[in-house]
Chain A
Amino acid sequence: MVELEPWEELAEIARKYVYTTIVNVSRDIVDYFTDLAKATDRMEMGGFLLGKHKIVKGILVVQLYDYIQQLNVSPEPETSYQFPTGSYSEIKRLIKEGRYSIATWLHTHPDDSYFSVADICYHCLTFRERLKDIFSPIDPREIPAFLVTGGEIGYVMTYTGVYSYMLRYSSGDVEAILVFPIYRPKSSSQYVINLPEKMKERFPDYEVCHECADQLYYTSIKVSRLEKLVPSPTPAPAPVKMSISDLINVLRDDLGQAITEGKFDIARLLDKLISMLQRREIDKEKIHEILFELQGLGYSMEKVSIIIESLRI
């Protein structure tokens, strides 16, 4: 069961920043974005972000906390993303079943490039058309689309037209919450300034797309900044620096002089090495050195190779 954040608190944040819509992205999704940016290689990828929504005292509060990956069936997946047939039916079914109440779409770029006019037009026209009945009375454009980029820097961008919104990336940890009041003035990018003109050239007949390009709202955050919201696991203790002879002595002591007495027990040695590895008391290179050192104790190269193979190192 997903634990949602208190609806009233989110509405209060939106009210404080004078927004009528707030989109909250869960910690799991933030975590996923950072992985996705690194994983995007040559092809564009995509899917749906899902969650629940409520109207709280006139504020639309959206909480996105799940993601469903979809195939890219575009004939040119290196430069565009296309959902497979039936993917919207699946989303509608999940919403009808009450598992979610709201959705938006996400796609990736393998480089650090902006959302294209086609991306904006898709969100404002196709995405809106496909889900407008099930979202009614909410216009699907009230929920921004997401773009994760996988270039040298890596960004998570969101965009929509006509409806302004506030986006909040949550770490799930109160101390680390980043409130990202996102509306960037159009003057922040020449590309965005030129979008209405580009849209009219590319899609001359789609007025709804012109409207979105004219009144575009978007956000941008570096993946590195998001990574700070997702605490990394407790760091393992630093490896203890020991010389090879010290390590051999440790092994020798622990094995109760088994090595020197010729009663060498491979299983015990392996257990010992693995546990030392797990405790990060030694690294794999050191183990290699130890095992080769064992040759000096009369252990054959062949047997050493078997140990190495057993350890898969």
Chain B
Amino acid sequence: MYNIICIDKRTKEWRVIKKVRTKGEAIEWIEKHKHEYPGCILNFAREGFEPIVEV
């Protein structure tokens, strides 16, 4: 499982906004929905792994 995450552009805190089964689905979902999250950097990470939050 992959977590799609929103990294807050200002605070750099992150939260899970969607769960999908594959990397391909994650890429597709982000492409379709990124305009809905203007305050976020959207990315994905496998469940149990820590997303990279580097500036």
Interface residues of A (CB under 8 A from B): 41-42, 78-79, 109-114, 116, 149, 151-153, 155, 157, 188-189, 191, 220, 222
B51 to A: closest C-beta gap in Å: 6
Given A151-B43, A152-B43, A189-B53, A79:B48 Cβ within 8 A? yes
Q: How far is the CA of A113 from the CA of B3 in the complex (A)?
A: 11
Given the complex, which residues of A lie within 8 Å of B27, measured CB to CB?
Answer: 152
How many residues on the B side are at the interface (Cβ–Cβ under 8 A)?
20
Q: How far is the CA of A116 from the CA of B52 in the complex (A)?
A: 11
A74 to B: closest C-beta gap in Å: 14
Given A151-B43, A152-B43, A152-B44, A111:B49 Cβ within 8 A? yes
Bitwise, B11-55 to A at CB < 8 A (1) or not (0) is 000000000001100110010000000000111111011111111
A291 to B: closest C-beta gap in Å: 34
Given the complex, which residues of A lie within 8 Å of B50, measured CB to CB?
Answer: 113-114, 116, 191
Given the complex, which residues of B lie within 8 Å of A157, measured CB to CB?
Answer: 52
Determine if B52 and A114 form an interchain contact, defined as CB atoms under 8 angstroms apart: yes
Given the complex, which residues of B lie within 8 Å of A78, measured CB to CB?
Answer: 46
Can you name the residue of chain B whose Cβ is closest to the Cβ of A191? B50
Given the complex, which residues of B lie within 8 Å of A41, measured CB to CB?
Answer: 23
Given A112-B44, A152-B44, A188-B54, A42:B23 Cβ within 8 A? yes
A299 to B: closest C-beta gap in Å: 42
Determine if B53 and A111 form an interchain contact, defined as CB atoms under 8 angstroms apart: no
Q: How far is the CA of A41 from the CA of B23 in the complex (A)?
A: 7
Q: Is the interface of A mostly helix, strand, loop or mixed?
A: loop
Q: Is the interface of B mostly helix, strand, loop or mixed?
A: mixed
Determine if A220 and B54 form an interchain contact, defined as CB atoms under 8 angstroms apart: yes
Given the complex, which residues of A lie within 8 Å of B23, measured CB to CB?
Answer: 41-42, 110-111
Given the complex, which residues of B lie within 8 Å of A110, measured CB to CB?
Answer: 23, 46
Q: How far is the CA of A191 from the CA of B49 in the complex (A)?
A: 11
Given the complex, which residues of B lie within 8 Å of A222, measured CB to CB?
Answer: 54
Given A42-B22, A152-B27, A152-B30, A113:B45 Cβ within 8 A? yes
Given A41-B23, A189-B54, A220-B54, A153:B43 Cβ within 8 A? yes
Q: How far is the CA of A113 from the CA of B52 in the complex (A)?
A: 5
Contact of A151 among B22, B45, B55 (CB under 8 A): B45
Determine if B42 and A111 form an interchain contact, defined as CB atoms under 8 angstroms apart: no
B19 to A: closest C-beta gap in Å: 13
Given the complex, which residues of B lie within 8 Å of A112, measured CB to CB?
Answer: 43-45, 51-52
Determine if A111 and B22 form an interchain contact, defined as CB atoms under 8 angstroms apart: no
Q: How far is the CA of A116 from the CA of B48 in the complex (A)?
A: 10
Q: 7 nearest interchain CB pairs?
A: A113-B49, A113-B45, A220-B54, A111-B45, A152-B43, A114-B50, A191-B50
B24 to A: closest C-beta gap in Å: 8
A149 to B: closest C-beta gap in Å: 7
Can you name the residue of chain B whose Cβ is closest to the Cβ of A192? B50
Contact of B51 among A42, A79, A113 (CB under 8 A): A113
A145 to B: closest C-beta gap in Å: 16
Given the complex, which residues of A lie within 8 Å of B49, measured CB to CB?
Answer: 79, 109, 111, 113-114, 116
Q: How far is the CA of A113 from the CA of B50 in the complex (A)?
A: 5
